[in-house]
Amino acid sequence: MATPADKRSFIVPTATLAGIAAVLTVGLAVLANVTRERIVHNQQAWIKEHLDVLVAPPNYDNDPLADTIEVTAPGLLGTQAPVTAYRMRKAGLPVAVAIRSIAPNGYRGPIELLVAIAPGGQLLGVQIIRHNETPGLGDAFENRDRGWLERFRGLSLSNPPQQRWSVRRDGGDFDAFTGATITPRAIVGAVRKTLEFYQGNEDRLYRDGRPQ
Ligand SMILES: Cc1cc2nc3c(=O)[nH]c(=O)nc-3n(C[C@H](O)[C@H](O)[C@H](O)COP(=O)(O)O)c2cc1C
Instruction: State yes or no: pLDDT of 5 exceeds 80.
Output: no
Residue 39 lies in a domain: yes
Please report the atom of ligand 1 found closest to the CA of residue 108.
8
| Same-domain status, 84 and 34 | no
| Same-domain status, 50 and 132 | no
Q: How many CA atoms lie within 13 A of 211 on its CB side?
A: 12
Strand-pair partners of 83: 71
User: For residues 180 and 137, is the Cβ–Cβ distance under 8 A?
Assistant: yes
**Angle subtended at Cα 121 by Cα 117 and Cα 127, rounded to the nearest 5 degrees:** 25
Listed in sequence order, the residues at least 6 apart from 10 whose beta carbon sits closer than 8 Å to its beta carbon are none
Rounded Cα gap, residues 96 and 81, in angstroms:
22
pLDDT at 1: 59
* Domain edge (last residue) among 16, 31, 54: 54
| Same-domain status, 11 and 42 | yes
pLDDT > 70 fraction of the chain, expressed in percent and rounded: 97
| Same-domain status, 76 and 1 | no
Please report the atom of ligand 1 found closest to the CA of residue 177.
26
Helices (H), 67-176: 74-77
Instruction: State yes or no: pLDDT of 25 exceeds 80.
Output: yes
Q: Tell me, in angstroms, the distance from the centre of ligand 1 to residue 175's CA.
A: 15
pLDDT (tens digit per residue) in 27-56:
888 888 888 888 788 889 999 999 999 999
Q: Tell me, in angstroms, the distance from the centre of ligand 1 to residue 142's CA.
A: 16
User: For residues 68 and 87, is the Cβ–Cβ distance under 8 A?
Assistant: yes
User: For residues 84 and 98, is the Cβ–Cβ distance under 8 A?
Assistant: no
C-beta 107 within 6 A of ligand 1: yes
C-beta 105 within 6 A of ligand 1: no
Residue 44 lies in a domain: yes
| Same-domain status, 131 and 104 | yes
Ligand 1 probe mutation, 108, 175, 182, most atoms within 8 A of CB: 182
For the chain, what is the radius of gyration of the CA atoms? 25
Q: Tell me, in angstroms, the distance from the centre of ligand 1 to residue 53's CA.
A: 29
| Same-domain status, 48 and 153 | no
Quote the domain boundaries for residue 96. Answer: 59-207
Show contacts of 159-164: CB within 8 Å, 24+ apart.
Answer: 162/192
| Same-domain status, 21 and 86 | no
Q: Tell me, in angstroms, the distance from the centre of ligand 1 to residue 128's CA.
A: 18
| Same-domain status, 84 and 187 | yes
| Same-domain status, 76 and 37 | no
Q: Tell me, in angstroms, the distance from the centre of ligand 1 to residue 107's CA.
A: 7
Residue 71 lies in a domain: yes
| Same-domain status, 27 and 123 | no
Using CA atoms in the order 26, 31, 36, 38, what is the torsion angle rounded to 10 degrees? 150
- For the entire predicted model, the pTM comes to 0.86
| Same-domain status, 104 and 175 | yes
pLDDT at 98: 98
Listed in sequence order, the residues at least 6 apart from 64 whose beta carbon sits closer than 8 Å to its beta carbon are 48, 51, 86, 87, 88, 98
pLDDT (tens digit per residue) in 134-162:
999 999 999 999 899 999 999 999 999 99
The number of distinct structural domains making up the chain is: 2
Rounded Cα gap, residues 160 and 56, in angstroms:
25
Number of other residues whose CB lies within 10 A of the CB of residue 147:
7
Residue 73: which pLDDT band, with cuts at 50, 70 and 90? Answer: very high
